Structures are given as C-alpha cells and as structure tokens.
Amino acid sequence: MYWTVLASGFRRHATYRVATAAGVFTNTVFGFVLTFTYVALWDERPRLGGYDMAEALAYVWIGQSLLAACSLMGGGFEEELIQRIKTGDIAVDLYRPADLQLWWFSANLGRAAFQLLGRGVVPMAVGALAFDLALPEHPLTWLAFLVSVLLGVTVSFAVWYLVALSVFWLLDGAGAVQVAWLSGVFFSGMLLPLTVFPGALGEVARALPWASMLQVPADVFLEKRTGWELWEAYAFQAGWALVLLAAGRAVQAVATRRVVVQGG
C-alpha cells in the first residue's frame, strides 16, 4: 500500500509540468547568481572552508539540485497536511487503514524522487556544462551520494512533519513554517558551506539536523567523506532521522486527541 502511495506521489507531481519547468529555470538562475558570488569569494579566499574553487562551485549546484527534493525552503507535503489539520479533514486520514506518519512519508518520498529528477538533474547538468565543477572520481560515489540524499530526505520529512503537527496547538502554521524555512536555509549550508562558519557557531550548525539535508550529501558527493567517515556521515543522518521520526510519532499520539476539539 505504501509503495502505491509513493508512486502516486511521484505521478501527482509529475503532472505539474509548467511548475516543474519554472522550478528548473529558477534553480538554474539562482545557481548562476550564487556561482558568481562564490567565484568572487573564493578568488579572495582560496580553499575557504576546505574547498577549492571547483568543489565550491559544485557545492552550489548540488544545493540547487537538492533544494526541492529535501524541501530546504519548504513547499513540500507540509502545506497540505497543515491545511487538513486546520479544516479537520485529518480525521479522514486517521480512519484510513494505514499509519498516518508512514502514509505521509511515502507520499513525500514520491514527491522528493520526482523533484530530484525533475528539478535536480537539469540544473546540475547546466552547471557542469557552464563551469568547471568537481565531480566524483569513483563511480560508487554516485550511489553513496544517493543513499545520503535518501537519508537527508527522511530527516527533512521528520522536521516538516513536526512543523505540521504543531498546528494542532497553534491553529495557524505560518509562524512555525517561517522558523523552519529560515533554519533550513541557514543551517543546511545553502547559503555557505557549514565548514565556513567560525568557532562554536560552526560546531553547532554542523551538529543540527539540517546539516543532513545538504552539507552531508554534498561532502559525500565531493568525496570529502570516504571510508569510515562515510559511515559516520550515514550514522549522523540516520541518528537524526530516528530521533525526529520518534518525536513525530510521540507528538502525533498526543496531537490526534485534539481532532475532536479542532475538527468538530
């Protein structure tokens, strides 16, 4: 059943061809803007954050490729879930012979798979054609990268699931979404690699779950994490995924008791 939900999520987003084309265009434009910004910065500070120029530019385009797949700025399943909670339609979801969290996780995984293909491949290809990007030297790195992306998508889902469930108490998710959106942009490393952040700020940023969504997959792609360090990266991502998914399940158990109050 959950595989059917996943496939349905993929097909559903595949129907929005104009929106996908617009997203590809936007990601590509922002990729160029960030690339020229990085070029100016790395010209002044070569090896900033442990990256050379080619690695830094590859980091930019990896970020644009994962922006939608990992919902770094939101715009995924959480909008629909928030609306269903606000209207009380969530009660219908609870009557389904399926686990609520697994249902939405499956749907989001289908969405993320399409976004990675639909909005990720083209910008990365354009960036590789237009600039000298550092690409993996070993074929297995691509597989290692996809595993890291899958874990990053899982962490992203767990974060946004908690954000959506907060509406049971807040009644309006705008504030929580804004906080999560800003946190995702800053602490995922979308603006700058987290290795650039100084001192305690850098240590904290690299320890937060948002690092799993971009910084870690990017380092896997750039072969900064190999051997034992690769397994440590996976453990970091999987650890946050398990903690946040467990938190989501606990909050769900408490929150669904409010359906009668909020859903009528």
pLDDT at 93: 82
As a whole-number percent, the residues of the chain with pLDDT over 90 amount to 61
Over residues 15-24, the mean pLDDT reads 87
| pLDDT tens digits along 172-184 | 878 888 899 898 8
Reported pTM = 0.92
| pLDDT tens digits along 154-205 | 999 999 999 999 988 887 878 888 899 898 889 999 989 999 999 999 999 9
Identify the CA nearest to 35 among candidates 122, 118, 124.
124
pLDDT at 258: 60
Q: How far is Cα 215 from Cα 189, in angstroms, rounded to an integer?
A: 6
Q: How far is Cα 112 from Cα 234, in angstroms, rounded to an integer?
A: 19
pLDDT at 259: 55
| pLDDT tens digits along 93-122 | 888 888 899 999 999 999 999 999 988 899
Helical spans, DSSP H, in the chain: 2-14, 17-44, 53-66, 78-87, 90-95, 100-118, 121-130, 140-165, 167-170, 174-187, 199-207, 215-221, 228-255, 259-263
